[in-house]
Structure 1
């Protein structure tokens, strides 16, 4: 299941207006921002839009985080739900073994939230994957997309 996607945009205000209007009919709404100053170097300002499940925390849901595009930036950033910290570790190890490039070994990422455990890899084309386990999420159900 996809947990979150970062979309790099050229104009945050214009993009935020677009996504809020486009996703409003399906129940998505803005729910908060993440300030780069609150975390480690390299984590940008982020502007969150999520579905009702993601925002409420009642079940695993999905979110989009808008970020200001950096000159020359390409690629996708995709957060993948993992049911446990061990699953994060295993996915990270498999990605590295498959030729992935380390962008953050598995660890607690409490600057996002307590119980947020993740690892990051990049493929050779610049696309990024984050394997993430959030302690407050129950394991995914078999067959649920």
Structure 2
């Protein structure tokens, strides 16, 4: 559905530590992009779509653009309910804050199991599995 998305963070080291932990738990990878950014990808063979995370101001920003004052919401697809549980645990161990323990979410017929954590910048990061548990 998308080619890539990106967002800025305050502390690249803290964010990298957090996103390496949560990415691994849902079968993704974190790779270097520049001295001030990294990418979250499916694999080195499948780099698109990707999530760009960095501290630099994007070149396409115009004067007056600024970092959002509102947190973002980013949801990763998990391969199983066990991956959602692993995501939540890894996120907390990597400095995340619980924002919703792993549990069934939404209407029962949606068959969705998800967990929410806040990253080091307060963004709501989710992992969810769709399917019968």
Which TM-score band applies after superposition, normalised by the shorter structure?
0.3 to 0.5
